[in-house]
């Protein structure tokens, strides 16, 4: 993955390297240009010498010849200079075209690297957004579970409180029933005792009745015999 700090290159570095690579034969061109300029300067110098010599000689033929020679040398110097200017312009245009090509290649590389970086960044952002969405969903589910747990805990507390109240009620009812049972047992014990006393009284009464009935029967029997 191309980092944003490593992707962009400085605009001056690559074109300079391309210009250096394209200007490898420049020393020979410089020597040729120097030679052409020297020839042009030499022609102009010869023309000046010829004109000066004709002027000093004062001869018409010499002046005419020197004028023709000066014209030819001047034309040759002008042609050499014009050729040199055209070559210089052509080389400069070629260098500019090479630099423009280098800039175009560099721009294309930067655009491609930027596109890759944007795509990777967009992918990372999409993954982060998806992760955030999943975490938010999990957080919402966890919050719902916590709320449900709290509700269940509250319901369990209420049920426990209700059971405790029911237990207290049962305990009180048990105590009350226990008290009534004790009272009933006491009453039953008293009733048993009373029944036993009544049975004893009944036995005594029956015994007295039997005792009173037996003498009465014996007196009647004696009366019949008499």
Query: Looking at residue 4, what DSSP letter applies?
Result: T
Inter-helix orientation angle 60-225/26-57, to 10°:
160
Of all helices (H) and strands (E), which one includes residue 171? Answer: helix 60-225
Q: Which one has a higher pLDDT value, 139 or 83? A: 139
Percent of the chain residues topping a pLDDT of 90: 18
Task: Report phi then psi at 25, rounded to 5.
Answer: -85, 15
| Residue found under tokens 């010599």 | 53
Contact in structure between 30 and 141 (CB atoms under 8 Å): no
pLDDT of residue 62: 67
Residue 83 pLDDT class (50, 70, 90 cuts): confident
Separation between Cα atoms, residue 214 and residue 208, nearest integer Å = 10
Separation between Cα atoms, residue 119 and residue 127, nearest integer Å = 12
Taking alpha carbons only, the member of 36, 35, 57, 40 closest to residue 67 is 57
Q: Give Cβ neighbours of residue 39 (< 8 Å, ≥ 6 apart).
A: 77, 80
pLDDT of residue 218: 57
* Buried/exposed code over 92-108 (b: 16+ C-beta within 10 A; e: otherwise): eeeeeebbeebeeebee
pLDDT of residue 6: 40
| Residue found under tokens 């969405």 | 133
Q: Which one has a higher pLDDT value, 44 or 158? A: 158
Q: Give Cβ neighbours of residue 147 (< 8 Å, ≥ 6 apart).
A: none
By the 10 Å C-beta count (0-12 exposed, 13-18 middle, 19+ buried), 66 is classed as buried
Q: Give Cβ neighbours of residue 48 (< 8 Å, ≥ 6 apart).
A: 70
pLDDT of residue 32: 61
Residue 204 has which token pair?
A: 């005594």
């Amino acid at each position: 993955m191309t980092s944003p700090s490593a992707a962009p290159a400085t605009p001056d570095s690559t074109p300079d390297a391309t210009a250096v690579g394209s200007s490898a034969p420049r020393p020979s061109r410089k020597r040729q240009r120097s030679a052409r300029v020297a020839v042009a300067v030499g022609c102009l110098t010869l023309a000046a010498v010829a004109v000066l010599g004709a002027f000093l000689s004062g001869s018409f033929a010499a002046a005419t010849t020197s004028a023709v020679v000066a014209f030819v040398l001047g034309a040759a110097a002008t042609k050499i200079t014009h050729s040199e200017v055209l070559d210089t312009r052509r080389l400069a245009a070629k260098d500019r075209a090479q630099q423009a090509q280098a800039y175009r290649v560099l721009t294309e590389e930067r655009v491609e690297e930027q596109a890759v970086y944007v795509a990777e960044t967009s992918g990372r952002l999409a993954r982060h957004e998806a992760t955030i969405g999943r975490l938010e969903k999990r957080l919402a589910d966890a919050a719902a579970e916590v709320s449900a747990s709290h509700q269940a805990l509250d319901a369990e507390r209420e049920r426990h409180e209700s059971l405790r109240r029911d237990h207290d009620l049962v305990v009180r009812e048990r105590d009350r029933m226990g008290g009534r049972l004790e009272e009933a047992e006491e009453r039953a014990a008293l009733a048993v005792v009373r029944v036993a006393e009544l049975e004893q009284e009944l036995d005594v009464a029956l015994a007295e009745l039997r005792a009173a009935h037996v003498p009465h029967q014996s007196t009647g029997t004696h009366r019949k015999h008499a």
